[in-house]
Amino acid sequence: VTSQSAAAVQAAQATTIADATGLACGSFCCDVVLTVERNRIVEAANACPRCRAWFLQTPRTMGPAATLDGKPATLDVALDRAAQLLSQARRPLVYGLRHTTTETQRAAVAVADRLGALLDTPGSHRGPHGVTFQGVGEVTATLGEIRHRADVVVFWGTNPAVSQPRHLERFSLHPQGEFLPNGRSDRFIVVVDTTRTATAELADLFIQIEPGRDFEALWILRALVRAQPLALEEAVNHTGAPLDVWRQLAAKLLAARYGALLYGSGLSNSAGGYLNVEALNALVRDLHVGRTLEVRTRCVARAMGGPGNLTGASDVLTWQTGFPFGVDFAHGYPRFNTDDFAAERVLERNEVDAALVVAADPDVELSAAAAARLGEVPTVVVGSFEMPAMQRAAVTFRTAVPGIDHGGTVHRVDGIALPLRPALTSPLPVDGDLLAQIERRLAKIHVGSSL
Ligand code: SF4
DSSP 112-161: HHHHT-EEE-THHHH-THHHHHHHH------HHHHHHH-SEEEEES--HH
Q: What is the mean pLDDT of residues 362-390?
A: 95
Ligand 1: centre distance to CA 286 (Å): 33
| pLDDT confidence band for 84 (50 / 70 / 90) | very high
Measured from the CA of 164, which atom of ligand 1 is nearest?
1
Q: Which of 93-107, 296-310, 402-416, 425-439 has the lowest mean pLDDT?
A: 296-310
The answer, yes or no, to whether residue 398 has pLDDT greater than 70, is yes
User: Which residues have C-beta atoms less than 6 Å from ligand 1?
Assistant: 22, 24-25, 27-29, 47-48, 50-51, 164-166
pLDDT band at 272; cut points 50, 70, 90: confident
Reference 119, options 287, 360, 355, 410; nearest CA is: 355
Taking only the tens place, the pLDDT of each residue in 45-58 is 999 999 999 999 98
The predicted structure's pLDDT at residue 451 = 56
Ligand 1 centroid from CA 187, angstroms? 22
Q: Whose CA is nearest to atom 1 of ligand 1?
A: 166
Query: CA 19, CA 22: separation in Å to the nearest integer?
Result: 9
Distance (Å) from CA 4 to ligand 1 centroid: 34
State the DSSP code for 183: G
The model carries a pTM of 0.90
Between the CA of 362 and the centroid of ligand 1 the distance, in Å, is 24
Q: Which atom of ligand 1 is nearest to the CA of 24?
A: 7
Contacts of 410 (CB under 8 A, 6+ apart): 21, 23, 28, 101, 102, 309, 312, 402, 403, 417, 418, 420
How much of the chain exceeds pLDDT 90, in percent? 78
Please count the CA atoms within 13 angstroms of the CA of 278 that sit on its side-chain side.
Answer: 11
Beta-bridge mates of residue 33: 45
- Is the pLDDT assigned to residue 151 strictly greater than 70? yes
pLDDT at 448 over 80: no
Q: What is the CA(281)–ligand 1 centre distance, in A?
A: 27
Per-residue confidence (pLDDT) for residue 248, from 0 to 100: 95
The pLDDT tens digits for 155-203 are: 999 999 999 999 999 999 999 999 999 999 999 999 999 999 999 999 9
Residue nearest to atom 5 of ligand 1 (CA): 47
Q: What is the pLDDT at residue 8? A: 56
Return the residue whose CA atom lies nearest to atom 6 of ligand 1. 48
Does residue 383 contact residue 407 with C-beta atoms inside 8 Å? no
pLDDT of residue 292: 67
Q: How far is the CA of 274 from the centre of ligand 1 (A)?
A: 26
Of 19, 27, 416, the residue with max ligand 1 atoms within 8 A of its CB, to mutate for a pocket test, comes to: 27
Select from 415, 390, 356, 375 the least CA-distant residue to 109: 356
Atom of ligand 1 nearest to the CA of 166: 1
To test the pocket of ligand 1, the residue of 164, 414, 418, 420 to mutate (highest count of ligand atoms within 8 Å of its CB) is 164
Residues 117-144 have pLDDT tens digits of: 999 999 765 455 556 666 778 899 999 9
> How far, in Å, CA of 423 to CA of 408, rounded?
13
What value does the mean pLDDT of the chain take? 91
Confidence of residue 273 (pLDDT cuts 50, 70, 90): confident
**pLDDT of amino acid 19:** 95
DSSP letter at 67 equals E
Task: Determine the Cα–Cα distance for residues 325 and 90; give it in Å rounded to an integer.
Answer: 20
| Residue 325 to residue 318: CA distance in whole angstroms | 8
pLDDT of res. 1: 42
**Segment 229-256, tens digit of pLDDT:** 776 666 566 898 988 999 999 999 999 9
Handedness of CA 151, 155, 161, 164 (dihedral sign): negative
Q: Region 244-273: what's the mean pLDDT? A: 91
- State whether the Cα torsion 113-118-121-127 is positive or negative: positive
* C-alpha closest to that of 164 among 49, 53, 302: 49
Closest ligand 1 atom to 32 CA: 5
* Distance in Å, CA 312 to ligand 1 centroid: 17
Report CA(77)–ligand 1 centroid distance (Å).
39
Ligand 1 pocket test target in 19, 41, 50 with most atoms within 8 Å of CB: 50
Cα–ligand 1 centroid distance for 44 (angstroms): 11
Higher pLDDT, 35 or 290: 35
- What atom of ligand 1 comes closest to residue 21's alpha carbon? 3
Residue 208 has pLDDT above 70, yes or no: yes
Around 34, how many Cα atoms within 13 Å sit in the side-chain half-sphere? 27
DSSP 8-class letter at 428: S
